[in-house]
Amino acid sequence: MRTATVPESESALARSLAPEDLSCGDLVAVVQEIVEWPSFFWSCDAQLLPPDEPVRLAVRSSEGGTPLKIEAICLPFVFVKRPCGTHRTLDVRQHRLVRLSTAYARTVWKEMKSASKRA
């Protein structure tokens, strides 16, 4: 029986970023979003949840892992570019960002950009 040794691929972890660590040109992704709902949606006792206080839920991003390039920063707002060429403004109070490894971000960016051109 023959076996082949496959070199281990370099794996990387996305690193959480504080808003002050962001800089233009960074390749980031949204991993978590904070969604706010009125407390009366929970049909709970008014003593537990005051009607003027929203309920905050942390949800996983529907765009998880999609690289975004930071174009401009004016905290708490971050202006980012998507691989398809569109832009979006993020509020870092409602979005948790992670820095992506350069190799991962460039590979995904290239594939998503060519896929959007074909569509």
Per-residue pLDDT of 20-69, as tens digits, reads: 999 999 999 999 999 988 877 766 666 677 777 788 889 998 888 899 99
Per-residue pLDDT of 8-23, as tens digits, reads: 556 678 888 999 999 9
Give the chain as a 3 state SS string: CCCCCCCCCCCCCCEECCHHHCCCCCEEEEEEEEEEECHHHHCCCCCCCCCCCCEEEEEECCCCCCCEEEEEEECCEEEEECCCCCEEEEECCCEEEEECCHHHHHHHHHHHHHHHHHC
Predicted TM-score (pTM) of the model is 0.79
The C-alpha atoms of residue 42 and residue 29 are separated, in whole angstroms, by 31
Rounded to a whole number, what is the largest CA-CA distance in the chain?
71
